[in-house]
Structure 1
Amino acid sequence: MNEALHSIVYKNSQGFVTGHFTAMAGSCEVIIETSDQELAEKVTYAVASEAWRIESTFSRYRSDNIIYRINNADGAPIEVDSETSRLLDFADLCFEVSDGMFDITSGVLGKIWKFDGSSNVPDQRDIDRLLPKIGWDKVTWSKPTLQMPAGMALDFGGIGKEYAVDSAAQLARQITELPILINFGGDIVATAPPISREHWLIGIEPLALGQNTVPPQVALKHGGVATSGDSKRYLVHKGKVLSHVLNPKTGWPVANAPASVTVLSSNCTQAGMLSTLAMLQGADAEDFLRSHEVEHWIQRR
C-alpha cells in the first residue's frame, strides 16, 4: 500500500468528525455525528479501505486485476468472481434499458477524446477506427464466464464509484447506527439523518463558464445522490460546449446533453444510473427523469 496516497486526515467540528482521504482520482470524505473519536476513525478506515479495495480491483490502469485479465484475454473466455459478475449483470441491465447507449465497452474512446476544456476534437477517421471495437452486444456473458472479441476493452468507470459508495456505506452500517454521510467525489450516501438537525444539506456544483444562477441544495435524510455533468470535463467546438458523456454508437458527445444532472434515489448506484441515463437522453433528459418519478435537478447552459 502506498502510504502517501492511502492516508486519512481528521477534523472535528460542532459534534461531527470528518475523515478526508483520496481514492478513485478524487477527494473523499466521511462525516460522522459523534464525539467518539475512536469509533469515527474505525468507521472512516473501513470506508476508505473499501474504496481503495474496489479501486485496485476494478481500475483499468492496473496490470494485476480482473479488468486487466479480461481486457488482455485476446478473445479467450475468462471466468470471473461473484463481485465482478454482479457488476457485469448491472452493466448488462444498463445497456438494455438505455437501448445500447450505456456501454461499458465504450471506454476505448477515451484514447482520442481528452475533455480538458480545450477545442481539440479528434479526427473523424480516428473515431471510425475505434467504433468497431465498441458494443456490449458483441460480448458473450454467461455467468461466470465472459468472452470478448480481441481488441475490445471493458471499463467500469461509469458505475464503479457509485458502487463503491454503496458498498462502503453497507460496511459502515455494520459498525454503527450513528448518522454517517459518505462522499466519494460527489457520489454520496447518507445512512441516516443527523441527530442535531433535520437533514444533511448537499450543495450542487454550479455550472462552469460563467453561469451565474445559484444552484439548488439537496436536503438528504438517507439514500444516495449522484451527479453527472461537464463542469470539469468538456470541450468547446464551434462555439458549443461538448459534454464528456459519449454516444457509443457515433463516438461523439451526446447532442444537447444537460450540463449537469443530479438525482436522489434509494442508493447511489441507482442514482448514478439514472443521472447517466438522463445525460444520454440529451434534449429529453427532463422527460426521462419525470417518467421515473425521482427527485432530480438539471442544469443547462
Structure 2
Amino acid sequence: MMRRVLIPPTLAALPPRLPAGQVHLLAGQTMGTTWSVKLVGPANLPLGAVRAGIEAELDLVVAQMSTWRADSDLSRFNASPAGSWHTLPAACFKVLGTALQIAALSDGAFDPTVGPLVNLWGFGPDGARNAPPDAAALAAARACCGWQKVQVDTVTQAVRQPGGVYLDFSGIAKGYGVDRVAAWLRSNGISNYLVEVGGELAGHGMKPDAQPWWVALESPPGSEISESIVALHGRAVATSGDYRRMFAHEGRCYAHTLDPNTGQPVLDAPASVTVLHADCMLADAWATALIVLGMAAGGALAERNGIAALFVSQVAHGHTEYLTPALAALLE
C-alpha cells in the first residue's frame, strides 16, 4: 500500500526550539465515546489537574448539548412548548450558530434540526431499531425538521421553539469538544499536544524528538486505498463514515448517514469523508454535510469553499477516492 504525506503550510510556523519535557498520555470517556490527549510537559507536570481541566471542558459540552441527558440545555429546549424563547449558554449558542451557517452553505445537507429523524431511525437516545419506519412516522418526523425554522436573537443569545423542533448536535459537538480542550491546554501553557475525541483530532506544536503530530486519515474497513498521513500543527481533522452505525433489514443496510431532505439514509453515500480544517468543529460539520451530498455534489461544494477533503467511495472492484484541490495542494 502506498503512503501519501500531507504537509499543511502551518508546519512552517513551528518554533525552531524543541519543546522540553516528555510526552504524557491522558484518556477517558465522554459523549458515548472515548477521548485522549497527548501533550508535552515536564516529568513532574500535575497530570491530575490537567485531567480535571480537560474533563471539565468535555463535561460542559455534554451538560449543554447532549440529547441523551434530559437536563441538558439542548434537551430542555427540545422539550419546551411552541412559541417559547430560551436563552442558551454561550458555548451552546456558538455551536448552534455554526451549525446554522453550515446548513445554509450546504443547502440543508447538514441540518441541526434532524433530531426527530435520527431518533426515528434508531440512531439516537430513543433506542436502536431493526426495521425502517413506516411512511406515516417518516412524514411526521420530517414535518418537524428544517433548519430554517430556527429563529435566533443574537443580542440575547436566545432561540425560539416554533413547536416540535428537536436540535441534535451529534454531527458537530465532538469537534467542538476537541476545540475546547485544545484552547484550554493553550491557555494553561501547554502548546504541544494532540487532542482526540471519538476519532476527531486537533494538533499543535511538536514532540521533543522534533517530529510533528503525525496522524493517519481514517479509511473504511477493508479499504485498499493509499494511506494518507498528515502533520497536524494548528490543524484539525474529522471523518464521517457510513460504516460506523447501521442496521440490516431484508438484505439492505441502513446507515446513520441521513439526508435531511428525504428523511432517509443516503443511498450510495461515500464510505467516508475526511475534512482537514483549522477548527475541528467546522471539520466535523463539513464532513457530515459532504458525506450526505456525495462525491459529485459534495466535491463541488468543497471546491467552491476551499475545503480540504478526502472522499472514499465503494465501487465494484473495491474503493475509489477523490482529493479536493485544497487537500491535493498539501501533498509532499
- TM-score normalized with structure 1 length: 0.85
Question: Is the 8 Å Cα contact of residues 255 and 283 (structure 1) preserved in structure 2?
Answer: no
User: What residue in structure 1 maps to residue 145 of structure 2?
Assistant: 134
- Classify the secondary structure of the residue corresponding to 1:249: coil
Q: Which residue of 2 aligns with 1:82?
A: 90
Match for residue 304 of structure 2?
A: 291
- The range that moved more, 233-242 or 76-85, is 233-242
Counterpart in the other structure of 2:329:
none
Q: Secondary structure at the match of 1:300?
A: strand
Q: Do residues 181 (structure 1) and 194 (structure 2) align? A: yes
Report deviation, 1:59: 0.9
Match of 2:39 in 1: 32
Q: CA deviation at 1:240?
A: 5.7
Contact kept? 1:95, 1:136, Cα under 8 Å: yes
Offset at residue 119 of structure 1 (A) = 6.5
Determine the structure 2 residue equivalent to 1:272: 284
1:152 matched to which residue of 2? 165
- The whole-number CA distance in structure 1 between the counterparts of 2:51 and 2:26 is 6
Q: C-alpha distance in 1, partners of 2:251/2:210?
A: 45
- CA distance 1:110–1:73, change in 2 (3 Å): same
**Does 1:114 find its partner at 2:122?**
yes
For residue 152 of structure 2, give the secondary structure of its aligned residue in structure 1.
strand
Count of matched residue pairs: 287
Measure, in 1, the Cα distance between the counterparts of 2:130 and 2:169.
Answer: 27
User: Structure 1 regions of 5+ residues with no counterpart?
Assistant: 1-13
Query: d(CA) in 2 for partners of 1:171 and 1:187?
Result: 17
Give the Cα separation in 2 of the matches to 1:203 and 1:238: 35
Contact 1:34 1:178 (C-alpha < 8 Å) held by counterparts: no
Deviation of the 1:193 alpha carbon = 2.5
Instruction: Give 1:241 deviation, angstroms.
Output: 4.7
* C-alpha separation in 1, matches of 2:279 and 2:55: 18
Cα deviation, residue 252, structure 1: 0.8
From 281, 284, 293, the equivalent of 1:281 is 293
Q: Secondary structure of the residue that 1:195 maps to in structure 2?
A: coil
Could you say which residue in structure 1 is the equivalent of 2:22? 15
Match of 1:171 among 175, 178, 184: 184
Give the stretch that moved more between structures: 166-175 or 199-208.
199-208
Aligned equivalent of 1:219: 231
Deviation at 1:120, TM superposition (A): 2.9
Residue 102 of structure 1 is matched in structure 2 by 110
Paired residues of 1:264 and 1:294 also in contact (CA < 8 A): yes
Could you give the per-residue CA deviations for residues 127-165 of structure 1, whole angstroms, max 9, x where no partner exists?
112111111212322233322222221112221111111
After TM superposition, the structure 1 stretch with the greater mean CA deviation from structure 2, 18-27 or 280-289, is 280-289
Distance of aligned partners of 1:176 and 1:137 in 2 relative to their CA distance in 1, 3 Å threshold: same
2:260 maps to 248
Counterpart of 2:213 in structure 1 is: 200
Matches within 5 A, 1:220-239: 220-236=232-248
1:105 alignment partner, SS class = coil
The separation in 1 between residues aligned to 2:47 and 2:275, in whole angstroms, is 28
Aligned to 1:55: 62
Identity %: 27
1:214 CA drift (Å)? 5.5
Kindly provide the amino acid, as one letter, of the partner of residue 221 in structure 1: H
CA distance in 2, matches of 1:50, 1:159: 15
Contact 2:103 2:110 in 1 (8 A): yes
Task: Tell me the alpha carbon deviations over residues 71-104 of structure 1, each in whole angstroms, 9 at most, x when there is no partner.
Answer: 1211122222333322222122122111122211
